[in-house]
Amino acid sequence: MDDTTAHREVTEHLRALHEPAFGRPHGLREPHVTRDGERVAVTGSVLDDLTGPVRTALYTAEDGELRAVSAGPGSARWARFSPDGDGLAFLSDRHEAGVFQLHLLSSGLGEASPAPEVPGSVEYAQWSPDGRRILLGVAGPGADLSGGQGSGSARRTEQDRPSWFPEVEDGGVDEAAWRTLWIYTLATGGLTRLSPDGLNCWEAGWCGPDRVVTISSGEPGEDAWYAAHLTLLDLAGEARKLLDSLVQLALPAGSPDGARVAVVEAACSDRGVVAGDLLLVDPDTGAVRRIDTAGTDVSQVEWLDADRLGYFGQRRLASVAGILDVPGGSVREVLDTELSCGGGTFYPAGAFTADGRVLTVQDSYTVAPRLVLTGESGDRVLASTAHPGTDHLLTVAGGAETVTWTAPDGLDIDGILCRPAGEGPFPLVVNIHGGPIWAFRNSWSMRYPWVPLLVARGYAVLNPNPRGSGGRGQEFAARVIGDMGGADAHDLLSGIDALVGRGLADEDRIGLIGGSYGGFMSSWLVTQDRRFVAAVPISPVTDWYSQSFTSNIGSWGTSYLDADPEDPGTLVHTRSPVLHASKARTPCLNVAGALDRATPPGQAREFHQALRAHGVPSALVIYPEEGHGVRAFPAQIDLLTRILRWFDHYLR
């Protein structure tokens, strides 16, 4: 297949999928519901054409249809109803692209009113339990973005500087890099800063009407998040540390009466990709209580009232929601489904009504995203994104099935196999997720647009959850720490062996693809095993030594290898694919974004040049406007075209 033919086929596929929904939501996330369950709101992802980034807009569900909430320009997201259900707060960048500010809508009528602007971009807004104030989490214009946000920074181009002006780093802390907390008071319309200087607040929630809990650090750089702690703030900005952890803390939420704080403790690879143990902390004494959630890694929490805490999470491949009776300690699960819940989130998420119903965005490989309210009487589908384009995808994307195999040390490993109709064996592409502490669920397109595209071309695609993945408890997740590229690599290889043995995979036509940790593993495996015919490492780490000194999360990498770059012979050196390139024979398409600060583009370049030096076919593709992953059109069309051509050339 030549370039022109491949590009045309990919474009036609994407147009058939998306064009029927141009101007309408094709994806959903951030659902919210009034306490009585009568009104819902959700963020929709919208394409107007196959150009530029995806925009977002707010919708409610009425008579089975998604209807726009506010008609302003730009993007809007994060709709949150007031405690009494009468007001709606949301974030919009209608005044400056990419800079979100608070807007308010009363009684669902008219057009929204903007609140006073904060210096930066608002990432989230939380109503106080009494509905009198709104807490704003604000990222300064120079704040780091996490890998899940695309990496890079929030800084906009400085238009007043000449083109020759240098980029300067002098060791000081950029004042624009901090994340701060602000409070908007509805009665006065006043806006005040809450967090003191020197406290970087990654995320926060109310603890009663007069205090706030936050995950904070004394530095604003992305690497500082991994050692952040739980902090209590009063409305005068006085800070008191509540909890430290040997791993990571996230998702803080205080009860409406301020008597308890919920927080999640988990080993994490990326900020914003969190699923782990649920803790309750007494804000006055610091006493900690660990909650048994029956093997569910918790990924979102929400107080229904002072004594009931709702949570969402993942258990193996299932999405789970439960309600904890805090005084009694009992847990009642209200949702357990093999469908993916959360929409565009990395792990399960949703919202609760006062009577314990749950609002979720549900989807699977064969179910387009839909908004569902679940109660004792079952599921009620409020609206769906299904349209003729999703029907087209279902006709070409094959099916998905759960597969399980046994690793060499006897550990059971799960995965989801997407494949065409027929008996096989099929050419197989192993699609490796990022993290490493993240996990596949049975979700629409498996969250990667190349999966259904490859299945449509006759490939089977294995989406594995090796050790280190979420949903299997903290012991399972921690198995990858200090051993990336070790037993986890054998989890993947044994999965391939299992599919070959079951007659589903052609052992002579095996390929690899993955981003971030998946990019590292795609690069690493081709240096350890010669069975692979082609590989596409995306946003990879290929040299842990240079990664340590060029990435904005370099310390995270060395901690997960449990190694010091200055010590010769440690895993920093022995697990770097670039230092094993002489063993590789697999043609590699190495992909990176020029704006990526998490896995800088030099990582892909190093491996490309090392492969070429040893006579291995290799191509290097760096997208100048992309960060950690390729998100915008038409760059995504170009990437999918190159992926299709690479695998077709070597595997077909």
pLDDT tens digits, residue range 381-405? 999 999 999 999 999 999 999 999 9
pLDDT exceeds 60 at position 155: no
- At 169-194, the pLDDT tens digits run 877 778 899 999 999 999 999 999 99
DSSP secondary structure, 425-490, as one string:
-EEEEEEE-SSSS----S-GGGG-THHHHHHHTT-EEEEEE-TT-SSS-HHHHHTTTT-TTTHHHH
Please tell me the distance from the alpha carbon of residue 316 to that of residue 199, in angstroms, as a whole number.
36
Provide the edge-to-edge strand list for the sheet that holds 40-46.
Answer: 25-33, 40-46, 55-62, 65-68
Q: What are phi and psi of 450, to 5 degrees?
A: -75, -15
For residue 374 the two structure tokens come to 């679940």
pLDDT exceeds 60 at position 158: no
pLDDT exceeds 60 at position 156: no
Provide the edge-to-edge strand list for the sheet that holds 190-193.
Answer: 121-127, 133-139, 179-185, 190-193
Q: What are phi and psi of 187, to 5 degrees?
A: -65, -35
Strand 505-515 relative to strand 426-432, pairing? parallel
pLDDT exceeds 90 at position 620: yes
Tokens 């949150």 label which residue?
Answer: 80
CB atoms under 10 Å from CB of 402, counted, come to 12
What value does the mean pLDDT take over residues 569-574?
A: 95
> What does the pLDDT read at residue 535?
98
Distant-in-sequence, close-in-space partners of 418: CB < 8 Å, separation ≥ 6: 365, 397, 398, 399, 400, 446, 451, 452, 455, 460, 461, 463
Q: Which amino acid is at 136?
A: L
Longest CA pairwise span in the chain (Å): 70
67-71, 331-335, 489-493: range with lowest mean pLDDT? 67-71
- At 241-287, the pLDDT tens digits run 999 999 999 999 999 999 999 999 999 999 999 999 999 999 999 99
pLDDT band, very low/low/confident/very high, at 153 (cuts 50, 70, 90): low
pLDDT band, very low/low/confident/very high, at 623 (cuts 50, 70, 90): very high
Of residues 512, 528, 520, the one with CA closest to residue 643: 512
Please tell me the distance from the alpha carbon of residue 232 to that of residue 241, in angstroms, as a whole number.
6
> What does the pLDDT read at residue 108?
59
Asked if residues 338 and 310 have their Cβ atoms less than 8 Å apart, the reply is no
Distant-in-sequence, close-in-space partners of 648: CB < 8 Å, separation ≥ 6: 1, 6, 457
pLDDT exceeds 90 at position 149: no
Distant-in-sequence, close-in-space partners of 92: CB < 8 Å, separation ≥ 6: 70, 72, 74, 75, 76, 77, 100, 101, 103, 112, 114
pLDDT band, very low/low/confident/very high, at 414 (cuts 50, 70, 90): very high
> What does the pLDDT read at residue 239?
96
What value does the mean pLDDT take over residues 444-451?
A: 97
What value does the mean pLDDT take over residues 160-176?
A: 83
- At 87-140, the pLDDT tens digits run 999 999 999 999 999 999 986 556 789 999 999 999 999 999 999 999 999 999
For residue 396 the two structure tokens come to 């070409």
For residue 460 the two structure tokens come to 């089977």
- The mean pLDDT of the chain is 95
109-113, 166-170, 437-441: range with lowest mean pLDDT? 109-113
Radius of gyration of the chain (CA): 24
Asked if residues 141 and 121 have their Cβ atoms less than 8 Å apart, the reply is yes
What value does the mean pLDDT take over residues 614-632?
A: 96
Distant-in-sequence, close-in-space partners of 266: CB < 8 Å, separation ≥ 6: 247, 248, 250, 274, 275, 276, 277, 297, 437, 474, 477
> What does the pLDDT read at residue 22?
96
What value does the mean pLDDT take over residues 587-613?
A: 97
> What does the pLDDT read at residue 82?
97
> What does the pLDDT read at residue 174?
83
Distant-in-sequence, close-in-space partners of 438: CB < 8 Å, separation ≥ 6: 269, 270, 273, 346, 347, 469, 470, 517
